[in-house]
């Protein structure tokens, strides 16, 4: 009896000890979580946003994403600068230049370019090539970079003496931005291999995302419509521009997407909707592999003949537009192979006026073509030099598009004449 009782008593003691241990461990864990500094909480929030949104969760297993979180939070992170650097280090193994931390200045400038009408900087839009070199996608019209003769396809080697390879894409772009009147020294290698140092003075660059004019010859009136980037205001501006061109009785349109490196995907889709009637615009694929096809509405803003100009700096949202027009047979593409950015980013606010750009999906053209790293091939390739100033009288690409569009209009005129003659014969 005593033996059984003692065993029971001993068992109960062990149960109590175990419960105390478990409760103590939980308490310590709770204390550890609550003991995180504000700076570490900031880093943890960034990790969580990426963990919940990044389009390729398989990459997490490859880089041991949870282990990266653990190792990062074990570091000494006390200040905002510590937190910023920790987040940048944390994102680097994902090997996605488009998923990046945006420091306050960069976040503000990116929002300004997406939602505003001007930005301060040198006017370079950058990307990375397959060797992780920083490449110029395009230069903004009227910018210091354009005035200095920097071209699409050039490589940025250094900014203020610091290697762009060391800086990475986001920090290279950040160092090029700044207050109006300040200067930055940029070392550039041209596509021909020439290396040169250029002292650029930052200034306010008027984005003017939509530009139009009327082209006339002896028999036809053609509208020229250029989109330099897809900011929030663009869809409305396109509607106004198309109405203005229709008031001028244009018969066809040359849509110029050269050096348009993208912007808001939603704006690119909205512009496609202006030209397509109940047709697929794009198909997106999220982290779960779910496809979501976006179909245009029935009403269009312009249904006449079109030619669309693209070059190797036509990227992202502008490729969505070009691909939708090409795959639906709505417009002939003319020019060069496009850049090949088929990934979609979401912009997340992170506090302290900073943010995260996270790649959340990939997209396919209506015919299921994945353009990431490949681009879109125009039906009509142009091997003549691209213009220095787009849309002016010396722009041979526009002239080629104009000649081709005139031939389409002539065919329409002949077809309409034949139909009228046929109808007259029936009536007689």
List residues with catalytic annotation. Answer: 316, 327, 341
Q: Within 10 A of 244 (CB to CB), how many other CB atoms are there?
A: 14
The residue among 400, 393, 255, 386 whose CA lies nearest residue 321 is 255
Q: Within 10 A of 61 (CB to CB), how many other CB atoms are there?
A: 9
Q: What is the per-residue DSSP string for 166-194?
A: HHHHHHHHHHH---TT-EEEEEEE-TTS-
How far is residue 209 from each of residues 64, 115, 299, 393, measured CA to CA in Å?
42, 11, 24, 20
How far apart, in whole angstroms, are the C-alpha atoms of residue 214 and residue 224? 6
Contact 197, 141 (CB under 8 A): no
How many residues appear in the chain? 428
Q: What is the per-residue DSSP string for 358-387?
A: EEEEEEE-TT--B-TTT----SEE--SPPP
At 371, list the tokens: 């353009």
Contact 159, 144 (CB under 8 A): no
């Amino acid at each position: 009896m005593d033996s059984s009782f003692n065993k029971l008593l001993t068992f109960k003691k062990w149960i109590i000890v175990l419960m105390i241990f478990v409760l103590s461990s939980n308490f310590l864990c709770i204390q550890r979580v609550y003991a995180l500094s504000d700076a570490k909480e900031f880093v943890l929030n960034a990790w969580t946003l990426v963990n919940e949104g990044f389009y390729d969760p398989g990459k997490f297993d490859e880089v041991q994403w949870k282990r990266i979180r653990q190792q990062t939070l074990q570091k000494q992170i006390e200040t905002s600068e510590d937190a910023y650097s920790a987040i940048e280090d944390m994102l680097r193994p994902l090997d996605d230049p488009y998923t990046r931390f945006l420091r306050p200045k960069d976040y503000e400038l990116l929002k300004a370019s997406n939602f505003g009408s001007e930005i301060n900087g040198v006017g370079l839009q950058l990307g990375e090539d397959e060797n992780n070199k920083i490449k110029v996608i395009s230069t903004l019209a009227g910018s210091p970079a354009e005035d200095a003769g920097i071209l699409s396809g050039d490589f940025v080697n250094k900014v203020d003496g610091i290697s762009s390879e060391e800086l990475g894409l986001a920090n290279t772009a950040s160092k090029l931005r700044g207050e109006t009147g300040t200067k930055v020294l940029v070392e550039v290698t041209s596509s021909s291999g020439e290396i040169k140092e250029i002292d650029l003075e930052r200034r306010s660059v008027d984005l003017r995302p939509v530009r139009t004019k009327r082209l006339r010859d002896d028999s036809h009136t053609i509208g020229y419509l250029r989109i330099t980037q897809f900011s929030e205001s663009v869809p409305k501006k396109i509607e106004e521009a198309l109405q203005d061109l229709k008031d001028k009785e244009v018969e066809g349109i040359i849509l110029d997407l050269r050096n348009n490196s993208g912007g808001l995907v939603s704006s690119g889709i909205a512009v496609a909707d202006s030209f397509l009637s109940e047709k697929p615009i794009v198909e997106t694929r999220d982290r779960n592999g779910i496809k979501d096809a976006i179909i245009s509405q029935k009403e269009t803003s312009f249904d006449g003949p079109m030619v669309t100009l693209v070059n190797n700096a036509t990227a992202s949202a502008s490729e969505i537009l070009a691909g939708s027009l090409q795959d639906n047979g709505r417009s002939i593409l003319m020019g060069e192979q496009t850049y090949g950015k088929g990934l979609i980013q979401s912009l997340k606010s992170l506090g302290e006026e900073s943010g995260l750009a996270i790649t959340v999906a990939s997209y396919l053209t209506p015919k299921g073509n994945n353009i990431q790293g490949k681009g879109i091939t125009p039906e009509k390739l142009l091997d003549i030099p691209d213009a220095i100033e787009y849309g002016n009288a010396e722009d041979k690409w526009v002239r080629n598009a104009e000649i081709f569009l005139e031939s389409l209009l002539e065919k329409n005129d002949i077809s309409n004449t034949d139909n009228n003659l046929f109808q007259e014969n029936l009536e007689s």
